[in-house]
A = this chain, B = another copy of it.
Amino acid sequence: MNFASDNWAGASPRILEALAAGNGGLAPAYGQDDLTREANARLSALFGRDVGVFTAATGTAANSLALAALCPPYGAVYAHEDAHIIADEGGAPEFITQGARLIGIGGLAGKIDPARFETVAGRASGPAGRLPVPAALSLTQATECGTVYRPEEILALTGPARERGLKVHMDGARFPNALAFLKQLSNDIAPADVTWKAGIDALSFGFTKTGALMAEAVVLFDAEKAAEIEWRRKRSGHIVSKARLIAIQIIAMLEDDHWLDLARHANAMAALLDKGLRAAGHEIAFPVEANEVFAVLPKALIERLRQAGGRFYEWPRGSLAPERHPGPDADLVRLVTSFATRPDEVEAFARLAAG
C-alpha cells in the first residue's frame, strides 16, 4: 500500500535483463558508442522525424538542460505554478540556464489557463530590459495533478506562445503515462501528435518513473540545438561515462512498446484506486487519467491508513478551485501508482478507506 511516488520502485525486470545482457564487452565512453546511436535512431523513428537526443541520469537535469537549449540566461520561462521545474527542482532550471526567471501561472487541475498565460505574458511588454525577455513556455504532460493535456489543449497554449516568439518545452517525466491514456481515447494518436506536431520544441522524455533504473532522454525537435547543448551537458557534469548503459535502458523501453505497457499498468492501478475510493464515498479532486489519484480524505482516515502501512503525501491545493478546498477535518492527498503496484494492495487500501 505504498503510493508515495513512482520513483520509489526499482527498475522493471526487463530493464535489468537488458543491462545484464548488454553489459559485456568494451564500448566507447561518453555517448560515442553504437548503442547510444541506436537509441537515438529509435527515438527518431518513434517521433517520425530526425530528432536531436541527449540522455541524462535525472529528470531535473533533463528539464534544466532542455530549457537551456530554449531560453537565454536573461529570459523568462512560463510554467504552471505547481510545475516540477518551479516547485520541486531547487532552482536547477535557473542554475543550468544561468539565470532564466521562472514565472508561475495558475490553472485548475494542473493545466495552465490560456487566458492567464496571455495576461501574464502580456505584462512583459514594458521598457526593454526591465523584465527578463519572454523566451519559453513549459507544459507538464501528464500534469502534476495526474491529468493529461489533449492535443487541442496543447495547441491552445503553444499557438499563442509561438506567436509571441516563445519556444515550448514539455516536461514529460510521465509522458509514457500521458500517452498510454491518450491512446486509450484514440489508438491512432502518436507521440508526434502531442509534441512537434502540436508546437513542442523540446521534450523531456522520462523513463525512470516508468520503470528504468535511471534514464531520461531529451528530444530536441530542432536538431541544431543539440550541438550547443553538448557543451552545457559537459560543463554541468551530465555526460555519464558508461553512457551505453543508459542507451540500453532506452532501447529496452522502446522494444515492443515496453514503456507503454508499464505505463498502462500504472494507469490501470490508478483507475482501480479511483474506482475504489469513489465507491467508498470519497471525493476525487481531479480526473484520474495518468497514474496519480488525488483524494480528499478525512484526517482521521488518513491517520488510520498510515497506521495500517499506507504511504502517501498530503498535497498543496493550488490546482483545486477554492470552493472545493477541503474543510478543517479533511486533507488533499496524492496517491501514485507505478509499474510495480499490485492490484491486491490497491484493493486492500480501498477496503480500508471504505471502513
Contacts and interface: CB of A to CB of B under 8 A. Distances in A.
Contacts of A72: 228, 231
A4 B26 contact: yes
Contacts of A240: 57-58, 214
Interface string A86-104: 0111111011101101100
A270 to B, nearest CB: 16
Q: Which of A74, A130, A244 has the most CB of B within 10 A?
A: A74
Interface in A16-46: 16, 19-20, 22-30
Contact of A94 (B10, B28, B92, B99): B99
Q: Which of A30, A65, A209, A244 has the most CB of B within 10 A?
A: A30
A22 B10 contact: yes
A57 B65 CA distance: 16
A131 to B, nearest CB: 7
Nearest to A244: B10
A172 B37 CA distance: 30
A64 B20 CA distance: 30
Nearest to A33: B8
B245 A213 contact: yes
A209 B172 CA distance: 32
A230 B128 contact: yes
B92 A230 contact: no
A311 B26 CA distance: 10
A28 B58 CA distance: 16
Interface of A: 2, 4-5, 7-11, 16, 19-20, 22-30, 56-61, 64-65, 72-74, 87-92, 94-96, 98-99, 101-102, 123, 127-133, 208-209, 213-214, 228, 230-242, 244-245, 311, 316, 340
Q: Which of A72, A214, A230, A235 has the most CB of B within 10 A?
A: A235
B237 A130 contact: no
A8 B32 CA distance: 10
Given A240-B214, A245-B11, A99 B235 contact: yes
Contacts of A311: 26
B25 A5 contact: no
B131 A242 contact: no
B242 A7 contact: yes
B132 A241 contact: no
A90 B20 contact: no
16 contacts: A8-B27, A16-B23, A26-B340, A57-B57, A58-B239, A61-B237, A72-B228, A72-B231, A74-B90, A95-B235, A98-B98, A208-B241, A213-B245, A214-B240, A236-B236, A236-B237
Contact of A99 (B95, B127, B133): B95
A31 to B, nearest CB: 10
A233 B133 CA distance: 14
A92 B237 contact: yes
A128 B32 CA distance: 11
A232 B64 CA distance: 14
